[in-house]
Structure formats: structure tokens, C-alpha cells
Structure 1
Amino acid sequence: MTSATTTAAPGKTPALETVAPKNAGPKGILAALNKPKKVREFSKKEQVDLFRGLGSMLRAQINTADALKYYSQGLPNKAIVDALTHVREDINTGMNVHEAFRRTGKFSETIIGLIQAGSDAGQLHHAFQSLATRLKSELHFSKQLKKATITPGVIICVLSGAFIVSQVKIVPQVESMLNGVGAKPDGMTAISFKVSHFTQAMWPFIVGTVVGIALTIFNSSHVRNLILGFVMSKWRLLRLLIMSMRQMTFISTIRLLHSNGINLAKSIRVSANSVRNTPFYNELRTAADKYEHSGVPLSTAFAKYTSVDAQVTHMLAIGEKSASLDAQLEMLSEMYEEDLQNHMNTFSAAISFIVLIIAVSLIAAVFIGTFLPIFLMGPKMMQSGI
């Protein structure tokens, strides 16, 4: 068996691994080298537990290397144990803490930036605790959003499947039974049978199209953004929800970085990574460049080059004039977190109502398509029997 792997040079991030397939010749090895495999980051839940534990130990005056050692001892997740072992070994060789974390490839640049800020300011325990708090908040809202969308989606899929089965399997049997006794369908019964015929002919194409669209949306961030942008332009509640979530995310990140000693332009650039694959990403980077190189005030850069709410630029202007930017950023992050919770509750209620309407409609369609022909044609069947 021939294999090839890449080894990260010192100080570089081993975030990409390549492995040649079994029995591969030179061309196979070359193809494997050209197709790197990205290392998966740790989940938010794992990172919350990690940073919470490290923060508590550093606050108790335990040095970083020992804190990593103690936390990894007895940990059931071997991937985290291996990563923390590498981090501890790199720190013991004199490497900076943030570079040691970056080399694992298991943490985002936003997290690395905050670790660097805490390390440079001598407040690494505070950086870890802030990370745990922010990630916990993101995890909370992520769970709420999934609960509000995935569960209703599953319910609709199950009911849609029941409707298709009733139209393809059950209704044809009813129609065959009525034809067997010479009863001619009319009125609602005829309409029900026509719907069944249409469903039998079209359901594979409709299901295939829906599955194809779902896969395209799942695999393409560009398509997701186009669809999301269109829906946001038509549904005000969804627009408020998404905008609150995005603005809360990058504003809280800017606050954490800036309050830990990172200059404002770099804080904005790093925070842009937290809203990657959204329009805010390029907007924030442009605003940071204009603020740093053109000398325009931060509030002006945000007003001209981003699509943030007017409230954001207004409070940033106040923070610049009164030298209270950290306080204004904290106020904005708390404000948008409260708005997000309110919008999330309203959105969940709206989705529940929509799902209820769809569920009732599908159940009614199954009942009407399956049992109504029998009820309506019962007298004719009895007369035919007589």
C-alpha cells in the first residue's frame, strides 16, 4: 500500500491533511495531494466546556500548560485530548498561546483573535471566560432556531409522505372498488380521483425537485444567501430576526476583542469572520479598511460602507464623542441579544401557526381523498348491489 501525508512546518496550521488512496500510483498520489481534507472544528458545546474549565483554572493562578494538562486528563473525547496535548507541548517550547491553538486547526480565527487579545493583555482567563459566555449564547440561539425550523420541517415531510401514500396506494384501491360495482364517480369524488391521478403521475418529479433544491441549498452558500435575501425582503419578521442575530454576533465579538486590547480596525476584521458567508463579511472588512487608512470616524465608516441599523451608527458616534466606545458596544450587544430573543419567540409562534395550518390541510387532504369517496359513493354501491 502506498500512502502520502503532509506534515505541517513549525508555526504553521496543520488544518489540511491529504492521504493518497490505497493502491494509488503517481497520478493517484498527485490527485490526493491536490485534494486536501479540511480538519473539522470542535463543536460549540465542546468549546464552551473547554474554555469554561480553562478560565476557572487560570483564575485560580494555575499556569496555562498545567491547566491544559489537568483538563485533558480523563477526558473521554480523544480528539480534544490530542489537540490539547499538542497545544501544551507547543506552549512548553515557547510558542505563543494563540499560535499553539491555531496550529490545531480546531478553532476559528475569531476565537484565536480573542485568545491572542487576552494573552497580550495578560487577561487570558478573562478571554476564556468571555469566549465561553459568547459561545454559550450562540449555542442557545442556534438550538432555538433549529427547534423552530427543523421540527416543523420534519412534521410537514411526514404528513406530505402520508398524503402521497394515500393518493398513490389507497385512493386507487377505492376507485377500483367503485369501478368494480359499476358506480360512476361524480362531484367531489371525481375531483378526488383526478387529484389522485395527478399525484400518481407527478409525485416522483415533485419529490425529486424538492430533494434537489434542498441539496443545492445545503451545499451552496451563494444559493442560501440569495433565497434568504429574497425571503427577508418579503417577510419583515424574518429580516428582523436574521439582522438581529448577525449584528449581535459581530458587535459582541468587536466588544470582546477591543475590551481586551486589540485595536479597533483589527477587532472589526476578526469579528467579520463570525459572519462569514453573509453580506456583512465584506462590508465590515471594507469599513475597517476605510477607518484605518482613510481617517474617517468609525460611525461614518459603518454608515457608508455597511448595512447595519441606524441605531448602531448612532451609538458608535456617541461612543467616539464621549470616549465610551466599549460601553456603547456592550450596550448594543445586550440590546440586540434582547431583540433577538423577542424576535425568536415571535418567529417560533409564527412558524408553529403555519405548521398547524399546513398539518390540518394535509390531514384534511388525506381524509378527503381516502374516505370521502367511500362515504359519497356508499349509497350508489348499495343500489348497485340491489
Structure 2
Amino acid sequence: MNNSQSPPIATDSATKPKKKSLGQKEIKIPFLDSGKPKTFKTKALIQFYRGVASMLRAQINTADALKYYADGLPDKVMADALIEIKEDIQAGISVYDAFKRSKRFDDMTLGLVKAGMDSGKLDTAFSDLAERAQTNMKFKKQLRKIVLIPSFVFPALICAFIYSQARIVPQIKEMVVTGDYEPQGPVRFFFTLSDFVIKWWPLGIAILIAIVVSFVVSNKLRQGVLVLAMSKIQILRKLIQGFRQVTFLGVIKLLHSNGINMAKAIRTSATAVKGTPYEAELLRAADQYEKAGVPLAIAFTKYTSVDAQVVHMMAIGEKSASMSTQLDMLVEMYEIDCDQYMEDFTNILNFFVMGGAVSLVAFVFLSVFMPVFLMGPEMMQQAM
């Protein structure tokens, strides 16, 4: 079998200290460092998944596949991590536990590795991981393309706005507010705004920096913002739920098609969506299905928040003994839907980002030139 493990060669190798290559000491920043090893870059992971999958399909055992891939790998940190995993496997530790001990892989990777072990098709699991990572990287690239320019433009525009309100507008105000002239309408508004910005801009910048830093550092805050955004933005909710559903459905499909009972397949699929609401829901549904004898479709209906389409197709698969076919169809359907949701969401985000940038530019322009254009007519009207 292509995912077979090499026999143990050293019974104490699992307890010996891990070695690090020379020159690979990681620089840690106390404020930002979480004490955990960093996961690898997505592009490197895609290449790793594909490379290992091809070797496993060629009947090379897992430990040797990791050794061959690590040999000569330019990324020495990744090479060292793979060698450590290989040594753990050779010491008798399961592939799943060896990957988990490295702390270099996310929950989805660990869940699919476990699914591959249980099904006897570890090569398929790594191929699926490559596809999932490719999709995630595509989505991240689209978001990065949209966000990159505004991330430079907005700070520059904010600085320009503060400078115009704190330096330019006060000079204009000093020149024109003489004698009995009292600014009215828009002119008065912009002069008042200038006074407000001069008084409060340091505090505003400090609050903005604190929000950005908190968002970067705090995972709970990011998750809270994500939940709030999902509750307000339907297309984002569909996109994220689609990604999660295609992930656990892919695990269930992989296991069920290789003779693993449905309850165990569902429990393993919960590992692939760890940290999301689906994790607890899937575990509860599996318990009700196995221990209470609740039909699969009813268990998913009562104890999970999956789409109605998932429940419907599972009910068909359960009644007609075609569960594998229905799972294949669901995975393919959600992959297509996710691509469409991704395109729609990036288009909407691009529209709002560009709209915000244009609005801020227009406001900076108006705050500087509007008082100049309107002062003359106002002064003439007050003089009459």
C-alpha cells in the first residue's frame, strides 16, 4: 500500500531532542511571537503536497517520500521539519501524529492526512490538499490585488487630509476671516472641521494604529470581525461556508469511498474544519447517527447548519445506496459555487475600495478649495 510506514529503526528516537540546521535560528519578536512554529508558505505547501502525492502513487512509503523530498530542498526550515516527521514515522509514530507534532501544518491538513490514513489512500489526501491550497492561494491573490494599492493609497490620503486641515486650511482662514466677515454654510463647516482635526488628529491616529495592531495580533478579534461580516454580507457568508462545506464533504467522500463507516468519516471530517462551528455540529451529528440510530439526513438537519442542498442529496444517497455518487456531486458543485462566489465577492470588494478611495480624494480636494471658491461670494453678500 502506498501509504505504508517504514518499520521502527530506533525505539528512542521519538524522545531525543530535535536537531536544527546551522544558521536556521529563527528571530523572535516578543510582542508578536506566539511561541509556536510558523506554518509554511502556501506555494511551498502546494509543491510539497504534489511531490509527496506523486511518490506515494509510485508505491514509495511515506517516510522515504519525505526524505527524498527534503533532500536538496532550498527551504532548510521546511527540510528540517520534514526530516523530523520522517524520523518520528520511522520511530513508530503514525503519519498523522508525526505531522501534528511538528506544529507546522494547519487543521485542514491534519484532518485530510488522518482521512488518508484511515482510507488507505494517503496519496489522494495529499492531492486533495494541493487542490484546496491552490484554491485558497487563488483567493488570497485576488484579495491581495484589491487590497495592496488601497493599503498604500489610504494612509497617504489620510496624511494628506490631516496636513490640509492642520496646515493649509488654517492659513486660508487666517487670510480671509477679517473684519465683520463670518463664514457661513460650507465654508463654516470646513473651518470648523479644520479646528476639530487640529485638536484630535493625534488621538485619532493612535486609535487607528491600536485597532490595526489589535486586529493583527488577536485571533479572537479577527474571528469576531469575520463572524460579524458573515452575518451582514451574504456573499461572504456563502463563500466561507462553501469553502468549509467542500472541505468536510471532501473528507467524508474520501473515507466513505474506501469503506470507512459514515460515523467515523464524519468525525474525521470535523478535524478538517476545526475551530469553526461545523466542528462541534459534525461531532454531534455523528454521535446521534451512530448511537441513537438517527437517519443521516435527519442528524444533519437537526444538529448542523449545513445547506439544505447537502441534507437533500445525503437523504437521496442514503435511500438509494448511492452515497458516494451524491458526495462526489456535492463536492464538485460546491467547488464550482466557491469559484463563482469568489469572483463576485472580489468584484464587490473592488467596487467599494475604489469608491472609498475616490471619495477620500474628493473630500481632501473640497476641504482645501471649497472655502477659496465660496469665500468671495459670501463676503460680497455680507458686505451688501
1:281 aligns with 2:287: no
1:50 aligns with 2:52: no
Cα deviation, residue 222, structure 1: 4.4
1:345 aligns with 2:340: no
SS at match of 1:38: coil
Measure, in 2, the Cα distance between the counterparts of 1:132 and 1:310. Answer: 28
Distance 1:249 1:144, change over 3 A: farther
Measure, in 1, the Cα distance between the counterparts of 2:205 and 2:258. Answer: 52
Given that 1:283 and 1:305 are in contact with CA atoms closer than 8 Å, whether structure 2 keeps it comes out as yes
Measure, in 2, the Cα distance between the counterparts of 1:170 and 1:117. Answer: 64
Cα deviation, residue 92, structure 1: 3.5
Given that 2:114 and 2:268 are in contact with CA atoms closer than 8 Å, whether structure 1 keeps it comes out as no
Distance 1:324 1:357, change over 3 A: same
Measure, in 1, the Cα distance between the counterparts of 2:199 and 2:294. Answer: 63
Measure, in 1, the Cα distance between the counterparts of 2:224 and 2:91. Answer: 48
Aligned counterpart, 2:135? 137
Aligned counterpart, 2:98? 100
Measure, in 2, the Cα distance between the counterparts of 1:36 and 1:152. Answer: 29
Cα deviation, residue 165, structure 1: 2.5
| Amino acid aligned to 1:171 | V
Given that 2:246 and 2:331 are in contact with CA atoms closer than 8 Å, whether structure 1 keeps it comes out as yes
SS at match of 1:232: helix
Given that 1:172 and 1:196 are in contact with CA atoms closer than 8 Å, whether structure 2 keeps it comes out as yes
Aligned partner of 1:253 among 230, 251, 254: 251
1:208 aligns with 2:210: no
| Amino acid aligned to 2:262 | L
Alignment of 1:70-89 (within 5 A): 70-89=68-87
Distance 1:348 1:181, change over 3 A: farther
Aligned counterpart, 1:125? 123
Given that 2:108 and 2:273 are in contact with CA atoms closer than 8 Å, whether structure 1 keeps it comes out as no
Measure, in 2, the Cα distance between the counterparts of 1:261 and 1:139. Answer: 32
Alignment of 1:1-386 (within 5 A): 37-148=35-146, 151-152=149-150, 154-179=152-177, 185-377=183-375
Cα deviation, residue 74, structure 1: 1.8
Deviating more after overlay: 230-239 vs 40-49: 230-239
Measure, in 2, the Cα distance between the counterparts of 1:14 and 1:176. Answer: 72
Q: Count residues in correspondence.
A: 355
Deviating more after overlay: 322-331 vs 111-120: 111-120
Given that 2:112 and 2:125 are in contact with CA atoms closer than 8 Å, whether structure 1 keeps it comes out as yes
Cα deviation, residue 167, structure 1: 1.4
Given that 2:173 and 2:191 are in contact with CA atoms closer than 8 Å, whether structure 1 keeps it comes out as yes
Distance 1:312 1:13, change over 3 A: farther
| Amino acid aligned to 2:194 | S
Cα deviation, residue 316, structure 1: 1.0
Cα deviation, residue 315, structure 1: 0.8
Measure, in 2, the Cα distance between the counterparts of 1:356 and 1:349. Answer: 11
Given that 1:178 and 1:381 are in contact with CA atoms closer than 8 Å, whether structure 2 keeps it comes out as no
Output the TM-score relative to the length of structure 1.
0.79
Cα deviation, residue 262, structure 1: 4.3
Distance 1:325 1:162, change over 3 A: farther
1:185-231 CA distance string (max 9 Å, x none): 44432221111112222333333334434444444444444444444
Given that 1:283 and 1:306 are in contact with CA atoms closer than 8 Å, whether structure 2 keeps it comes out as yes
Output the TM-score relative to the length of structure 2.
0.79
- Gap runs ≥5 in structure 2: 1-11, 19-32
Given that 1:287 and 1:302 are in contact with CA atoms closer than 8 Å, whether structure 2 keeps it comes out as yes
Measure, in 1, the Cα distance between the counterparts of 2:149 and 2:256. Answer: 38
Aligned counterpart, 1:27? none
Measure, in 2, the Cα distance between the counterparts of 1:153 and 1:286. Answer: 42
Cα deviation, residue 13, structure 1: 12
Cα deviation, residue 178, structure 1: 2.9
| Amino acid aligned to 2:248 | F
Measure, in 2, the Cα distance between the counterparts of 1:156 and 1:14. Answer: 48
What is the root-mean-square deviation of aligned Cα atoms in Å?
3.3
Given that 1:13 and 1:105 are in contact with CA atoms closer than 8 Å, whether structure 2 keeps it comes out as no
Distance 1:97 1:283, change over 3 A: closer
| Amino acid aligned to 2:94 | N
